[in-house]
Amino acid sequence: MKKRPDAFTLPSFNFFLFKMRFFIIMCSLMIVTRLPENLSGYHIHMIGIKGTGMAALAELLVSRGAKLTGSDVSDEFYTDALLRKLNIPVSSPFDPSNIPASTKLIIYSTAYTPDKNPELHAAVEQNIPRMSYPEALGAFSQHSYSAGIAGVHGKTTTTGIAGTLLKGLNLNASVLAGSAVSNFGGGCTVINGSKYFVAETCEYKRNFLFFHPQKIVLTSIESDHQDYYPQYEDILTAFLQYIDRLPQFTELIYCSDDAGAREAAKLTFSSRPDLVLTPYGKTAHGDYGIKTLGIQNGQSVFSLRGFDGEFRIGIPGEHSVLNAAAAIALVIGLIKQERKEVTAADLTTIRNSLASFKGAKRRSEILGEVNGILFMDDYGHHPTAIYKTLKGIHDFYPNRRIIADFMSHTYSRTAALLPEFADAFSYADTVILHKIYASAREKYSGSTNGKTLYEQMKKRHKRVHYFEEIMDAKDFVERELRPNDLFITVGAGDNWKLGRAVYNDLLEKAHV
């Protein structure tokens, strides 16, 4: 029996619910075509195939028998090696002649539009069936019992952990994460059958509404993507629309420690009493409530209310433990879906697989250590994610001085969350800032830039430095660093290049 959440009211909720359902109906009409269940020999051409998500989807499509070709820019990406391994011909530059006559479907990256990509323009002119990446991922999810992992923070790591556990259990499942995962062999996918499908699903522009979930993991909701969701209520509405795509009597797994996820669960309890609501976190009652939490021998150690014994994960931060609890809840749900009973052997495999998890690319990623200096990189670009990441690193490495280099991403996010960004670096001993890494989807308004953030942060932090260009900071960083320091690049920009450049320089000098 579900326990009723605390009361929650929202003005004009019936009208709000009507608008929510109407939008879902409209979204369902936007899908251009369906993927056939049997993809053997089915020719798909992918425009922008080198993108992380596109290349991962390509791997899944090949595993189902599809014949693929692709096109992209000529620059070398880490996905090139995967595409070569899959024997997928990739053409560049973009040109209508790259589209083979046998093409039955075009899948394109959302980075491209018909007015700016000649191949996509030709596809429209020739009336070739086409799908965007989110549409294709959604169509792919229709042919499996699918679970979508969603949230403003924690999607990639949660998906990576879930995939690692499923791989260890040898369950008939495929997994797609939004970044490379060490335990996936450095790729973004686990492919071990098609009965179950677990995927990271993105909230931006409501892309996740194309997905067909039987289960949803909801890690967090708060204001983000201000260019598309100006108010918190806008992004909350999008997540509620996603939850409402769950069929009757299926499951929402949500983080009870996160205010936004908790709010969504309360509203869902009222509007969808048929759904099973499964909370996880320190405040959660039930099997996935976190009872104890500590750090031992370089690992986070925790226990869950519904299970005897401890679980361990070797990446820093309380947020990583929450992600682990979410993944455990999802995977145990899939085991029960498969064979009704979770055995002691299953739990042993889950514990061992979790302890082996090494993280995802650009998620508290360790680049290496030289001269006693530890180099890390993290994709965190929202104040909450940054604060939790730095706190976790501080707790994991209490005796190291933390020097954080941050490049903020998008003018709209920086302007909307300026005070929060200024407060997010309290666990860093020294902070280095740069110009804002602009998005192609917005224009500079002239009101907020990198120096605006610098001036705000100086009011709250004693040691803040500003270098407009990332490589302008290189000499300063090399002079500043000393043994037992931890240097981390943070953000969704390209300041990761600074960390790698400094690390490689020091490594080269150390070997002279």
Secondary structure in 3-state letters for 34-48: CCCCCCCCCEEEEEC
Known binding residue 157? Answer is yes
- Output the CA angle 439-392-408, nearest 5 degrees: 15
Which tokens go with 421? 């960004």
Known binding residue 278? Answer is no
Known binding residue 193? Answer is no
217, 330 contact by CB (below 8 A): yes
Known binding residue 152? Answer is yes
CB atoms within 10 A of CB 259: 12
Return the DSSP state at 289: B
Any long-range contacts for 271-277 (C-beta under 8 Å, 24+ apart)? 271/17, 271/240, 271/244, 272/243, 272/244, 272/246, 274/248, 274/249, 275/243, 275/246, 275/249, 275/250, 275/251, 276/2, 276/249, 276/250, 276/251, 276/252, 277/2, 277/5, 277/251, 277/252
CB atoms within 10 A of CB 304: 22
Known binding residue 43? Answer is no
129, 31 contact by CB (below 8 A): no
CA distance 277 to 439: 36
131, 107 contact by CB (below 8 A): yes
Of 304, 305, 302, 306, residue with least CA distance to 315: 302
Secondary structure in 3-state letters for 371-412: CCEEEEEECCCCHHHHHHHHHHHHHHCCCCEEEEEECCECHH
How close are the terminal C-alpha atoms of the chain, in Å? 67
**Pairing of the two strands 251-255 and 189-192:** unpaired
Known binding residue 446? Answer is no
* Alpha-carbon radius of gyration of the chain: 23
Distances in Å between the alpha carbon of 450 and those of 68, 179, 453, 457, 463?
42, 27, 5, 11, 16
265, 252 contact by CB (below 8 A): yes
Of 301, 316, 471, residue with least CA distance to 402: 316
Which tokens go with 38? 């049997």
Which tokens go with 41? 């020999």
Strand-by-strand arrangement of the 365-370 sheet:
365-370, 373-378, 485-490, 401-406, 430-433, 464-466
Known binding residue 394? Answer is no
Q: Is 362 left (phi over 0), alpha (psi -120 to 50) or beta?
A: left
Binding residues for ATP: 151-157
List, as residue ranges, the binding site.
151-157
